[in-house]
């Protein structure tokens, strides 16, 4: 795609092993060297700008080089950069924990700090397991996860994932997880519509609970959107009814809001739309507005009490990271929450989300190979299919999404596909005019790909 390779690109390829990449692809499309960012835009070493339509892997909320966040980070760096978090604490962690307990669903009052989304999942899994051990329920050693789930790439997190692309090769190393078929509203096996169904697909989970509940410690779920599966969206009623099943069968509910928290689904947290409080809520990504690695696990007083005892009982939760509760990350995260509150971003998300949905639905409805455009909050997804009636997907070997991604890059648009799904998850500072540009450029890229594929006899 790029006729010449720059010195920086060559130096990168000499030593850097990029994540989630087949490095051989970089022979044709070398890594783009980004020099700066501002608002929704990234700028490469040649000055070309790209609309960051995916918020740089879903982390950026308020735009690159945000003045408020950058100032808070700089000020904190001159005061305290890090301190051991065992037997010590500091204001940024205290203020952040208080604010998270205030804004998350009722009952989530205890905050455990970690470094990233996968680490948060590991914490929740271990905490749930140890809780049941200390409650004299030694048979509860397994977890229930949904098909097409994604919860991270450490071994515990992979164990409760369901996307073969990531976990299949590691299967011999993984935990023995119970799996239930998850919701698939686009290809619903019951031929229901998500806005009017009574979630009959939850029966798949209930069947597993009936058989395995005595050995299950927790169910883990991505509330409202199974993101890495291709932005598969389902109604809040599924989540609400799932919580009732967890109570009925004495199984914890772990809500993995790493990707969907902080306004992505239209409310501050996805669980709000179902009116539920999970036993554990995992948060990361947008927590620091795209600035620094940080994650948290929130849980209840009931869970906390099971670990609170004299030292010699050995009931403490002995899990730690060197950078636990890092002051820089905590200060930035607190600023992010202040921005939400003071600049009324949830209201902005509602307004911009409605505009994006109406415009995108209208534009992509006319595309022959778009099976569905779906959206929750400000997360939009375009599912590409061979045939709209049968919903037959393109073979993964065709890499249709990847081909469109390359075309979009030439047009100054960063779309990172999930197989046959292109998606939008832009920073909230995006304007309506920029939303229009993002959608128009995506439409052009899709049309250009299929025009060329038709000429070549591909599609």
Question: pLDDT-derived band of residue 165, with 50, 70 and 90 as boundaries?
Answer: confident
Rg, Å, the chain Cα set: 22
pLDDT of residue 454: 62
Q: What does the pLDDT average to over 347-366?
A: 97
Q: What does the pLDDT average to over 113-130?
A: 98
4 vs 13 pLDDT, higher one: 13
pLDDT of residue 394: 97
pLDDT at 153 exceeding the cut of 90: yes
pLDDT of residue 195: 86
pLDDT at 161 exceeding the cut of 80: yes
pLDDT at 44 exceeding the cut of 60: yes
pLDDT of residue 1: 43
State how far the Cα of 158 lies from the Cα of 139, in Å rounded to an integer: 22
Mean pLDDT for the chain overall: 96
pLDDT at 244 exceeding the cut of 90: yes
Q: What does the pLDDT average to over 44-71?
A: 98
Q: What does the pLDDT average to over 14-42?
A: 97
pLDDT in tens, 415-430: 999 999 999 999 999 9
pLDDT at 38 exceeding the cut of 50: yes
pLDDT of residue 458: 56
């Amino acid at each position: 795609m790029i006729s010449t390779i720059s010195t920086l690109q060559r130096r990168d390829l000499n030593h850097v092993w990029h994540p989630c990449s087949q490095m051989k692809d970089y022979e044709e499309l070398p890594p783009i060297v980004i020099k700066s960012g501002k608002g929704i835009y990234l700028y490469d070493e040649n000055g070309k700008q790209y609309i960051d339509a995916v918020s740089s892997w879903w982390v950026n909320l308020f735009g690159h080089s945000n003045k408020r966040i950058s100032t808070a980070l700089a000020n904190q760096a001159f005061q305290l950069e890090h301190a051991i978090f065992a037997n010590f604490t500091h204001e940024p962690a205290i203020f952040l924990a208080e604010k998270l307990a205030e804004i998350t669903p009722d009952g989530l009052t205890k905050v455990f700090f970690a470094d990233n989304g996968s680490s948060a999942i590991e914490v929740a899994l271990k905490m749930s397991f140890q809780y049941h051990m200390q409650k004299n329920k030694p048979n509860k050693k397994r977890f229930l996860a949904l098909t097409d789930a994604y919860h991270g790439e450490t071994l515990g997190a992979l164990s409760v994932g369901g996307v073969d692309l990531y976990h299949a090769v590691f299967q011999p190393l993984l935990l023995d997880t119970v799996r239930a078929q998850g919701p698939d509203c686009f290809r619903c096996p019951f031929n229901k519509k998500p806005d009017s169904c009574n979630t009959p697909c939850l029966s798949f989970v209930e069947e597993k609970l009936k058989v395995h509940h005595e050995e299950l410690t927790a169910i883990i779920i991505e509330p409202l959107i199974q993101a890495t599966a291709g932005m598969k969206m389902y109604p809040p009623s599924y989540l609400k009814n799932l919580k009732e099943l967890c109570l009925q069968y004495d199984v914890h509910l772990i809500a993995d809001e790493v990707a969907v928290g902080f306004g992505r689904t239209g409310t501050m947290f996805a669980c709000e739309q179902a009116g539920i409080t999970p036993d554990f809520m995992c948060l990361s990504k947008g927590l620091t507005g795209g600035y620094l690695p940080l994650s948290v696990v929130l849980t209840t007083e009931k869970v906390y009490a099971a670990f609170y005892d004299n030292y010699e009982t050995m009931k403490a939760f002995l899990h730690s990271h060197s950078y636990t509760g890092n002051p820089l990350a905590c200060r930035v995260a607190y600023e992010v929450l202040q921005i939400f509150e003071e600049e009324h971003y949830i209201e902005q998300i509602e307004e911009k989300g409605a505009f994006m949905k109406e415009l995108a639905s209208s534009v992509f409805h006319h595309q022959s190979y778009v099976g569905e455009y779906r959206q929750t909050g400000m997360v939009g997804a375009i599912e590409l299919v061979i045939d709209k009636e049968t919903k037959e997907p393109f073979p993964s070997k065709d890499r249709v999404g990847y081909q469109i991604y390359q075309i979009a890059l030439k047009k100054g648009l960063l779309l990172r596909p999930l197989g046959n799904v292109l998606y939008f998850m832009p920073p909230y500072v995006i304007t309506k005019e920029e939303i229009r540009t993002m959608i128009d450029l995506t439409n052009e890229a899709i049309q250009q790909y299929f025009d060329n594929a038709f000429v070549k006899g591909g599609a």
